[in-house]
């Protein structure tokens, strides 16, 4: 569906290389894009949504090259949910969706049907006449998803969709995305590992503009398992030494001892044993010791 080859982006004014030779292949379903702040995720999202031009490389969306002459065609295929949920303060939820329906070329009849479908799908029916300024953070996020879906695009790009929302809204958003992933290509850009582990089968990890990993979550965990170690420590002095000299992923305390999880490419201590990694451990391993 989306093929990215050797993609690079350098911002002219700041001379920052936001993406460095990134290649990815994204198929149907939900594809996670993990990375810290400043890893280049938003730049990649902006390139795919035609908001930012790239410096080098090639991008094909359903075989169509991402180039200015194809922008209008590609915009019809892509729905974009930006990092910050925006809307006109005095416009209601219904009016906001209707407005973006017009911007996406829907006729009055199409808009009417699509807006009610989306209100139902996003569970915003009760709040349809509420003004944007009176919505909660989670509702604004759902409305933002609605705006992205108004033209029923084949590809949905969601940039940090769960940032800043409460746990129940986060679960709602994940479920919505899971449902969408059944028949669309969804690119989920986030730094919240839990979101990826819950929704994605495939992911890519970006770090300082470079791709550090691309593939299945299972494969990532398998490869990471070679780098995650656990050591039981009873002596506080030793514990202090371990904490200072290693990349520690977590500590579990209890019964007068501490189980310390260490990320290391080699066995760090003789008494360290391999440990089952979580996705978070794997992500840190990729980012720091891969």
Q: Is there a contact between 185 and 156 (Cβ–Cβ < 8 Å)?
A: yes
Identify the residue among 41, 61, 80, 272 touching another protein (CB under 8 A). 80
How many Å apart are CA 279 and CA 33, to the nearest integer?
Answer: 13
Identify the residue among 2, 32, 138, 151 touching another protein (CB under 8 A). 151
Residue 103 interacts with another protein (CB under 8 A): yes or no: yes
How many Å apart are CA 187 and CA 223, to the nearest integer?
Answer: 23
Identify the residue among 44, 49, 176, 207 touching another protein (CB under 8 A). 49
Residue 78 interacts with another protein (CB under 8 A): yes or no: yes
Query: What minimum distance in Å lies between the beta carbon of 86 and another protein?
Result: 3
Residue with tokens 């009176």: 134
Q: Is there a contact between 136 and 152 (Cβ–Cβ < 8 Å)?
A: no
Q: Positive or negative, the Cα torsion across 100, 102, 107, 108?
A: positive
DSSP β-bridge partners for residue 91? none
CB neighbours of 134 closer than 8 A, spacing ≥ 6?
none
- Which parts of 217-266 are beta strand (E)? 228-233, 247-254, 257-263
Burial class (CB in 10 A: 0-12, 13-18, 19+), 117: middle
Query: What minimum distance in Å lies between the beta carbon of 119 and another protein?
Result: 18
Query: What minimum distance in Å lies between the beta carbon of 289 and another protein?
Result: 34
Identify the residue among 90, 113, 120, 175 touching another protein (CB under 8 A). 90
Q: Residue 111 in 3-state DSSP?
A: helix
Q: 212-231 mask for another protein (x: CB under 8 A)?
A: --------------------
Using the rule CB under 8 A, give the single segment among 45-53, 206-214, 225-233, 275-283 that binds another protein.
Answer: 45-53
How many Å apart are CA 232 and CA 227, to the nearest integer?
Answer: 17
Query: What minimum distance in Å lies between the beta carbon of 82 and another protein?
Result: 4
Residue 107 interacts with another protein (CB under 8 A): yes or no: yes
Q: Residue 271 in 3-state DSSP?
A: coil
Using the rule CB under 8 A, give the single segment among 48-56, 170-178, 239-247, 251-259 that binds another protein.
Answer: 48-56
How many Å apart are CA 233 and CA 243, to the nearest integer?
Answer: 11
Residue 84 interacts with another protein (CB under 8 A): yes or no: yes
Site for another protein in 108-137 (CB under 8 A): 108
Residue 189 interacts with another protein (CB under 8 A): yes or no: no
Q: Which residues bind another protein (CB under 8 A)?
A: 9, 11-12, 46, 49-53, 55, 68, 71-72, 75-76, 78, 80, 82, 84-91, 95, 98-100, 102-108, 144, 147-148, 151
């Amino acid at each position: 569906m989306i093929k990215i080859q050797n993609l690079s982006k350098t911002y002219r004014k700041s001379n920052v290389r936001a993406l460095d030779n990134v290649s990815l292949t994204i198929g149907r379903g939900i594809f996670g894009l993990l990375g810290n702040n400043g890893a280049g995720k938003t730049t990649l999202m902006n390139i795919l949504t035609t908001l930012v031009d790239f410096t080098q490389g090639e991008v094909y969306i359903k075989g169509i090259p991402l180039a200015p002459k194809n922008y209008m065609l590609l915009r019809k295929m892509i729905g974009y949910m930006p990092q910050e949920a925006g809307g006109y303060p005095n416009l209601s939820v219904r009016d906001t969706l209707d407005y973006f329906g017009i911007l996406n070329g829907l006729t009055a009849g199409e808009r009417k049907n699509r807006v009610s479908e989306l209100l139902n799908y996003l569970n915003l029916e009760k709040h349809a006449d509420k003004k944007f300024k009176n919505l909660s953070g989670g509702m604004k996020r759902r409305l933002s998803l609605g705006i992205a879906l108004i033209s029923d695009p084949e590809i949905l790009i969601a940039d940090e969709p769960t940032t800043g929302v409460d746990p129940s809204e986060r679960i709602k958003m994940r479920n919505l995305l899971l449902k969408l992933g059944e028949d669309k290509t969804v690119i989920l850009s986030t730094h919240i590992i839990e979101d990826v582990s819950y929704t994605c089968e495939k992911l890519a990890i970006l770090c300082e503009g470079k791709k550090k990993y691309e593939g299945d979550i299972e494969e990532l965990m398998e490869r990471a398992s070679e780098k995650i170690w656990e050591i039981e420590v009873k002596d506080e002095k030793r514990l202090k030494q371990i904490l200072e000299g290693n990349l520690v992923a977590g500590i579990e305390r209890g019964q007068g001892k501490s189980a310390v999880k260490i990320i290391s490419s080699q066995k760090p201590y003789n008494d360290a044993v391999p440990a089952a990694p979580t996705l978070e451990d794997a992500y840190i391993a990729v980012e720091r010791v891969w």
